[in-house]
Amino acid sequence: MEEDKARIEAAISEQLGTIFQIESQKALGGGCINDAYCLQGDGHRFFLKSNRPDFSSAFSSEAEALNELADTQTVRVPKVLASFESSNKSYLILEYIEPARSGSRDWAKLGRQLAELHKIQKPFFGWKRDNFIGATPQPNPRGENWDEFFKEHRLKRMLTLCQKLGYRIPGADQLLQTLPDFFESYAPQPSLLHGDLWSGNVAFDSDGAPFVFDPASYYGDRETDLAFTEFFGGFSPEFYTAYQDAFPLAAGYEKRKILYNLYHCLNHLYLFGSSYSFQAEQMVRQLLE
């Protein structure tokens, strides 16, 4: 562990341009996949994630996504300092942004920022590499057909993973067959996505300004980001009003929202077990109505 500590201090020192030594390390809660800490030294604070050595690809893909999002100058994200793997652990070192526990929260600003992010587009769906949605590998091969991409690399893949654990969703095969029907009069453009945008991955600083983290970015339908914001109860109404004013959604979103959130529901079924089974079955029934 001393060797790891030295590498962490060296990585931070390189970014600061001065010698940094860890004076204190505070465990942070809120995550269910990684260990997280606030490192302090000489008046500086940094955010450290750690996991098993084989998790290094998840950290490196997260670092790439954070850098890509930062380069857009739209949504605010923590600055990446380093990611590396040792014999014992893998690590991701980020800027530490103090989240405010109370006070004003500028949800409208986040809505406008997300709209600007989604206006950044490419001529293909997918990403430069595969990444992870939570702890689940997420394939991102490039393609030009969105309904085919979402069918093969999102829904079908997640259904297969769930089936391997013994979870079979009635009507899922029929849904896959009818998936093109959802896009007969809707042709989304490949927008740059956060990819894992729910309330647990959004915070506000002491001035009430928003920042986001833990992305699973790729180029896809922007509605997938908006849909997942609603999966666990939704953001403030000001967020949605500001987004709609800046980048209105197309007709039919309310039905497609269920389709896109089915992917996340299946991922939770795969990661966390049968408590999500009934919800997934209910969503499939709604989509087949």
- Indicate the angle between helix axes 237-246 and 107-118, nearest 10 degrees: 40
- Indicate the angle between helix axes 156-164 and 253-272, nearest 10 degrees: 30
Q: Is the dihedral of CA 51, 54, 55, 60 positive or negative?
A: positive
Catalytic residue of the set 106, 147, 196, 221:
196
Say how many residues make up the chain: 289
Backbone angles phi, psi at 144, to 5 degrees: -105, -10
Distance CA 24, CA 7 (A): 16
Distance CA 252, CA 221 (A): 13
CB 219 within 8 Å of CB 125: yes
Distance CA 211, CA 194 (A): 12
Which residues touch 180 (CB under 8 Å, ≥6 apart)? 147
Q: Is 166 left (phi over 0), alpha (psi -120 to 50) or beta?
A: left
Q: Say whether 106 is catalytic.
A: no
Distance CA 161, CA 155 (A): 10
Distance CA 45, CA 98 (A): 9
Token pair for residue 177? Answer: 């067959």
Distance CA 158, CA 161 (A): 5
**What is the enclosing helix (H) or strand (E) of 191?**
strand 191-192
Q: Which residues are catalytic?
A: 196
